[in-house]
């Protein structure tokens, strides 16, 4: 398959530059805050026309990124797994663990944590990152969902950790998930939430002419920018359009104290002193921030009965 054919498969055959109808509810999209940003007037799903360039532009410094993101990710994966296990527990069937697919597993941190309770497999489209996970003997395949799967491969749980918002054609992807799940299987979507405090703050800044934080929220200029910004209303529409229903949701913290300095220092081209001052300020505000709407939500989608 040449690169263009592969891209068409990944994009569900849709030209991502021509966005006028909502991918969730087919409602009309209206212009958003930047030329590439569109919002559905019906369900509130936010879309972008930013172009994914995985394996085309050089990955950013992975070691720095890993250091910056690992504490929050590992913390949230632990919370997510504890919560999820109660929803996917099965009667002990000859000791078999439920099968879990982690789409876009990156370094495999979630796989490592989930392996105690699930029979895990990860897919990672970035060849360099997949190679590193494989070098650590993690069960990872390089490729996209569902192309990298074998014809009959089935799972009990399919997880998208900060991934579904990066893949074009969200309802088509979820229909592919439905085909890979039994009647009681679930999809777990862990993603940024447009109701989050920091996202809304970035919108206010953009309206005031300062786009940097909004563009960082959408990961403009990264190999795989965000194509969607979900919230619970749009997630219900996405689920309904692809044969699922939302059966549970919970917020996850977007900031934890551990690793905060590295994350700030990494994220914004700021000096060490400024990073330290910002870290101290945020640590002081952290107890209050827990009262604000979270920027990360996990939705559990169960298959609708036929």
The residues of the shown chain that bind Zn ion, judged by CB under 5 A, are: 22, 24-25, 27, 40, 42-43, 45
**Could you tell me the two tokens for 282?**
């945020």
Closest approach of Cβ 18 to Zn ion, in Å?
16
30 with 37: CB under 8 angstroms? no
CA distance linking residue 113 with residue 120, whole number of Å: 10
Residue 22 or 301 with smaller CB distance to Zn ion: 22
State CA 236 to chain mean position distance.
Answer: 17
Closest approach of Cβ 28 to Zn ion, in Å?
9
Q: 3-state class of 155 per DSSP?
A: coil
Closest approach of Cβ 24 to Zn ion, in Å?
4
Residue 104 or 192 with smaller CB distance to Zn ion: 192
Residue 129 or 301 with smaller CB distance to Zn ion: 301
Q: 3-state class of 122 per DSSP?
A: strand
Residue 42 or 279 with smaller CB distance to Zn ion: 42
Residue 43 or 217 with smaller CB distance to Zn ion: 43
Per-position DSSP letters for 219-283, written without gaps between them: TTTSSS--SEEB-HHHHHHHHHHTTEEEEEEEEE-S--STTHHHHHHHHS---HHHHHHHHHHHH
Closest approach of Cβ 31 to Zn ion, in Å?
15
300 with 186: CB under 8 angstroms? yes
Residue 43 or 187 with smaller CB distance to Zn ion: 43
Closest approach of Cβ 42 to Zn ion, in Å?
5
- Residue 40 CB partners (closer than 8 Å, separation 6+): 22, 24, 25, 27, 28, 29, 46, 47, 234
Closest approach of Cβ 238 to Zn ion, in Å?
9
Tell me the CA end-to-end span of the chain in Å, nearest whole number. Answer: 35
């Amino acid at each position: 398959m040449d690169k263009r054919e592969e891209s068409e498969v990944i994009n569900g055959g849709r030209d991502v530059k021509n966005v006028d109808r909502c991918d969730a509810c087919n409602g009309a999209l209206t212009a958003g805050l930047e030329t590439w940003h569109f919002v559905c007037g019906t369900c509130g799903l936010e879309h972008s026309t930013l172009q994914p360039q995985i394996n085309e532009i050089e990955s950013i410094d992975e070691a720095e990124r890993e250091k910056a993101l690992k504490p929050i990710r590992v913390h949230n994966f632990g919370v997510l797994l504890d919560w999820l296990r109660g929803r996917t527990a099965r009667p002990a069937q000859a000791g078999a663990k439920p099968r879990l697919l982690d789409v876009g597993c990156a370094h495999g941190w979630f796989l490592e944590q989930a392996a105690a309770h699930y029979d895990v497999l990860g897919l990672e489209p970035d060849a360099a990152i997949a190679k590193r996970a494989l070098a650590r003997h993690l069960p990872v395949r390089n490729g996209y969902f569902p192309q990298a799967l074998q014809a009959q491969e089935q799972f009990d749980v399919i997880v998208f950790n900060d991934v579904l918002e990066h893949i074009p054609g969200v309802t088509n992807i979820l229909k592919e998930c439905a085909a890979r799940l039994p009647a009681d299987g679930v999809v777990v979507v862990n993603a940024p939430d447009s109701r989050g405090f920091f996202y809304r703050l970035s919108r206010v800044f953009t309206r005031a002419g300062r786009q940097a934080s909004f563009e960082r929220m959408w990961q403009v200029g990264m190999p795989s920018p965000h194509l969607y910004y979900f919230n619970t209303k749009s997630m219900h529409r996405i689920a309904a359009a692809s044969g699922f229903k939302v059966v549970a949701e919970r917020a996850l913290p977007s900031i934890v104290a551990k690793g905060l300095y590295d994350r700030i220092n990494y994220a914004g081209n700021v000096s060490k002193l400024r990073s330290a001052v910002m870290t101290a300020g945020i640590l002081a505000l952290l107890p209050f921030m827990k009262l604000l709407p979270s920027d990360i939500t996990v939705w559990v989608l169960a298959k609708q009965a036929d």
